[in-house]
Amino acid sequence: MYAIKTRELTKKFKGLTAVDKLNIEIEKGELFGMLGPNGAGKTTTLKMLSTLIKPTSGTAEVWGYNIQTQKDEVRSSIGMVFQDPSLDVRLTGEENLDFHARMYGLPKQKRKERISEVLDLVELTDHAKTLVINYSGGMKRRLEIARGLMHFPRVLFLDEPTLGLDVQTRHRIWNYIKRMSREEEVTIILTTHYLEEADYLCSRIAIMDFGKIVALDNSKNLKDSVGSDVISLQLDDGKEKFFEQLKGLEWVKKISEHDGIIDLNVRQGEIRIPELVNLAQRAGTRIRSVSLREPTLEDVFLQYTGRSIREENGGNRALMRERVRSMRRKS
């Protein structure tokens, strides 16, 4: 039995398809990542899997329970850390956990033991009796993760768990998530638009774009799918002739341009840079900067979507608005 299995899972909002015929199978104990920009459909997917909203069509099973016909069983099997804060800041950390455990019917002694366990897991034992209003942003996220574990869930959904946190705090949260996955033996589904977060944490990564999964594999295989070194170039004006010459080179596997940077996927990148400099000179342009690197998840996202995730996050709202206008014109 899979921890999660979806079949053609779809959600539409007033003509906009937020999630489009999603088919995924997530193993028990897996730390599964859903990577994509805001608006890609990640949060909508979690809301359907956690029974917060109904799918338009298709269905899914969570821990063997149908999300439409066995909602109570699904809810008892999952924990959820929402993207937006949901703690009661007028209570202490301990009181927030106790209230949550009471909602799930944990007996008094078990509540006490479990509160101690999860506070220790996220290193908040010393702040158990501190009002949450006095917690830092990182402490609040850690408490929310602890709360999500209180009732011994089989599956834990983490929706953008480090959104808005500074880099140092984000890395600490990552370590807690890894430790939690290992010690609690819980299946974790994490949504994020941070490339490095998905790369560091997840055993497999699904890349989402406009409601569809466009790539799904482990990080290494996704990067290997790009299949080559990446040379990034920034040129002066007059690059059209240079582009034409690049297309005739058998060792250039792919050419793409974004943010004013030309990315070349090439074989044996370290020996190709002098050739590119000479080629640019013959084309009447000049290379202003050049870098060589192995493929990253950014390259994978660019290959499968045609855009960098930075462009997506910067202009996603405008793209979504244009997509809605286009669909309305067609209808």
More confident of the two residues 284 and 44: 44
pLDDT given for residue 267 in this prediction: 78
Could you tell me the CATH number of the domain that includes residue 102? 3.40.50.300
pTM greater than the 0.75 cutoff? yes
CATH of the domain at 263: 3.30.70.100
Question: pLDDT tens digits, residue range 272-295?
Answer: 899 999 988 888 888 989 999 888
Residue 316 has pLDDT above 60, yes or no: no
* 131 and 43 within one domain: yes
Residues 146 and 208 in one domain: yes
Task: Kindly state whether residue 325 falls inside one of the protein's structural domains.
Answer: no
Which pLDDT score, from 0 to 100, does residue 38 have?
84
* 239 and 102 co-located in one domain: no
pLDDT for res 325: 45
* pLDDT at residue 214, rounded to an integer: 94
Query: What confidence tier does 326 reach under pLDDT thresholds 50, 70, 90?
Result: very low
Region 188-205: mean pLDDT is 94
Mean pLDDT calculated for residue range 84-89: 90
Give residue for tokens 């949901």: 86
Q: Tell me the pLDDT band of 324, cut-offs 50, 70 and 90.
A: very low
Where in the sequence is the domain holding 179, given as residue range(s)? 4-222
Number of domains in the chain: 2
Residues 87 and 113 in one domain: yes
Q: Identify which of 243, 178, 189 has the alpha carbon closest to the alpha carbon of residue 43.
A: 189
For residue 244, pLDDT over 90 is answered with no
Quick one: 190 exposed, middle or buried, by C-beta within 10 A (0-12, 13-18, 19+)? Answer: buried
Burial of 55 (0-12, 13-18, 19+ CB in 10 A): buried
Confidence label for 311 from pLDDT (cuts 50, 70 and 90)? low
Q: What is the pLDDT of residue 258?
A: 78
Which candidate, 254, 253, 263, places its Cα nearest to that of 230?
A: 263
Tell me the range of 112-116, 192-196, 252-256 where mean pLDDT is highest.
112-116
pLDDT at residue 48 greater than cutoff 90 = yes
If asked whether residues 157 and 285 sit together in one domain, one would say: no
Q: What is the mean predicted confidence (pLDDT) over 51-75?
A: 97
For residue 135, tell me if it sits in a domain.
Answer: yes
Comparing CA positions, the residue from 279, 220, 281, 228 lying closest to residue 256 is 228
| pLDDT of 34 higher than 60 | yes
| Angle CA 164–170–176, to nearest 5 | 130
Residues 267/303, Cβ–Cβ less than 8 Å:
no
Please write the tens of the pLDDT for every residue from 211-238: 999 999 999 999 888 867 889 998 887 6
**Residue indicated by tokens 């106790």:** 98
Mean pLDDT of all residues belonging to the chain: 88
Regarding whether 26 and 169 lie in a shared domain, the answer is yes
Which of 38, 301, 77, 53 is closest to 189 using CA atoms?
Answer: 77
**Of 222, 242, 264, the domain-final residue:** 222
